[in-house]
Structure 1
């Protein structure tokens, strides 16, 4: 009886942790989805000034968060233990962060987020190329449709109606985040929070050398604070905490709310309406991603084959 009671308590505790983790990951997606809407309120003409202040506020928040959670010694240890893989993830994150801010000057938030939605599938492609990880037939089909969907969105640039710079930067974001995903999968010692914090430092330092002036209005500074602390820093802290408590497929599914909600906030706040091709191509990308995630759920929930206890069913 005591063992049954102990087991019941453990299951209840695990279920509570899973619900808490899912809530945190959803909150991170909600906070990240606000990025485009917040950025549209900033009037500063120089995007490098925006990158600098956003990165500086995010750095301050993430360092404070890590010190609160792990103490000064633990924080220093996490940075020291990252090694070269951590530096590579930081560089990827800095690239993605810079490209996001600059891309907002050339294309719609919907275009950026819908192209970025393909990150998990692009990461699977990169892992196959770099690590020779096995890719299932259904994942190859999903990757194909992501390429088709992105092609539909990018096709607007061929007629000259949309700047190719914006879509090019959105693709750069996708590739940078996919590369970071592959690195963290290969090197389990890379902790997300210190690596991305270092990425914000890299972005701030680069912006410092490129900005014509760092002077911004008080109005802009309020939104830059929200852009750095609420959108970037707090969103990352919620994700880093919650993602460890739930399956990767569930975290990916909850993360899709960023793609869904981001264009909605910009439409409601700034009347920014995505084009027909953006909606069509983005719909293809999003559908491919959802089908892929659904299959991951099914694969991980299937019982193991007889005689192979503890192992998931093969693809």
Structure 2
């Protein structure tokens, strides 16, 4: 492939993954702006998101294999779908009970938790660089969560931690189940959320304003998933991870612009510590990958 084509693909990949981070960052603002309960929100997000992601999967399947690529999930795919649905419920609920910044920053530690779980479950080597970054980020999270005692935000911080652990486990499962159609499992996961919400809550008992925001939420969720899938194919994994970390500052910025939400000092201090650890870790991986590519 000519160098100009490679550069163009890399630029496109950077733009797509960056846009994906911005769409993902809207989750907190939309959740807090909708008056419905978390299950109703996940129901609508699952309904709209599953439809749009299914269209994308079928389009890509036809483009890549003429419609011959299997969509069979198997037990691994169903496990991914169920685990992803449970993590999504905790994710949405967390925003209802704490600051957007807290949820976004706690979730930024997911790669470190994934590394720890991979070491425990499958004995995957744990790099000293990752261990150091995880220790630093843990201090930041402790400051944030500790500030929630007696303020009513502790439940939300706890749900954010639970969601982060679920997200980390999902990352490990995606790596382990390499032959599983992950994006299709995501669509099924979203549809499971729709079914759960439909039978447990009354998703039609929402205002016209909330219905519009819920539809927007489902569309942004689908767009974020699709953009990340397409963009991550065009750039190295370390670069994709670094750009994906931009979701955190985006989320904090959107919460300030649209909700006028300013987290307390403890959250800002703890968040700054976590972000330094996350960006330093991701940045070092990116530098090493670039150096390896140049040397190679």
Q: Is the pair's TM-score, using the shorter chain for normalization, greater than 0.5?
A: yes
Cα separation, partners in 2 of 1:144 and 1:222, compared to 1, 3 Å:
same
Does the alignment pair 1:87 with 2:84?
no
Q: Which entry has the higher C-alpha Rg, 1 or 2?
A: 1
Cα separation, partners in 2 of 1:303 and 1:33, compared to 1, 3 Å:
closer
Conserved? CA contact 1:67–1:74, under 8 Å? no
Cα separation, partners in 2 of 1:16 and 1:213, compared to 1, 3 Å:
closer
Residue among 18, 40, 52 paired with 1:26: 18
Cα separation, partners in 2 of 1:168 and 1:189, compared to 1, 3 Å:
same
Cα separation, partners in 2 of 1:214 and 1:75, compared to 1, 3 Å:
farther
Does the alignment pair 1:136 with 2:127?
yes
TM-score, normalised to structure 1, is: 0.87
CA-CA distance at 1:74 after TM superposition: 6.8
Q: Match of 2:179?
A: 189
Cα distance in 2 for partners of 1:101, 1:189 equals: 29
| Unpaired segments ≥5 residues, structure 1 | 1-8, 311-315
| Unpaired segments ≥5 residues, structure 2 | none
Cα separation, partners in 2 of 1:138 and 1:103, compared to 1, 3 Å:
same
Does the alignment pair 1:205 with 2:226?
no
TM-score, normalised to structure 2, is: 0.92
Q: Match of 1:293?
A: 282
Conserved? CA contact 1:243–1:251, under 8 Å? yes
1:254-293 equivalences in 2 (<5 Å): 254-293=243-282
Cα distance in 2 for partners of 1:91, 1:147 equals: 28
Does the alignment pair 1:173 with 2:142?
no
Q: Deviations over 1:24-64 (max 9, x none)?
A: 101100111112222232222x3221211111010111111
Conserved? CA contact 1:86–1:191, under 8 Å? yes
Cα distance in 1 for partners of 2:79, 2:110 equals: 17
Conserved? CA contact 2:32–2:96, under 8 Å? no
Q: Match of 1:148?
A: 139
1:96-107 equivalences in 2 (<5 Å): 96-107=87-98
Does the alignment pair 1:222 with 2:209?
no
Q: Match of 1:36?
A: 28
CA-CA distance at 1:102 after TM superposition: 1.3
Conserved? CA contact 1:66–1:75, under 8 Å? no
Q: Deviations over 1:182-238 (max 9, x none)?
A: 1111222133311211111121222223215532111111111110012x1011000
Does the alignment pair 1:112 with 2:95?
no
Cα distance in 1 for partners of 2:153, 2:70 equals: 41
CA-CA distance at 1:92 after TM superposition: 2.6
Cα distance in 2 for partners of 1:213, 1:98 equals: 15
Cα distance in 2 for partners of 1:76, 1:272 equals: 49
Which stretch shows the higher mean deviation, 237-246 or 71-80? 71-80
Cα distance in 2 for partners of 1:47, 1:298 equals: 40
Cα separation, partners in 2 of 1:76 and 1:126, compared to 1, 3 Å:
farther
Q: Deviations over 1:1-21 (max 9, x none)?
A: xxxxxxxx5222222111111
Cα distance in 2 for partners of 1:264, 1:129 equals: 36
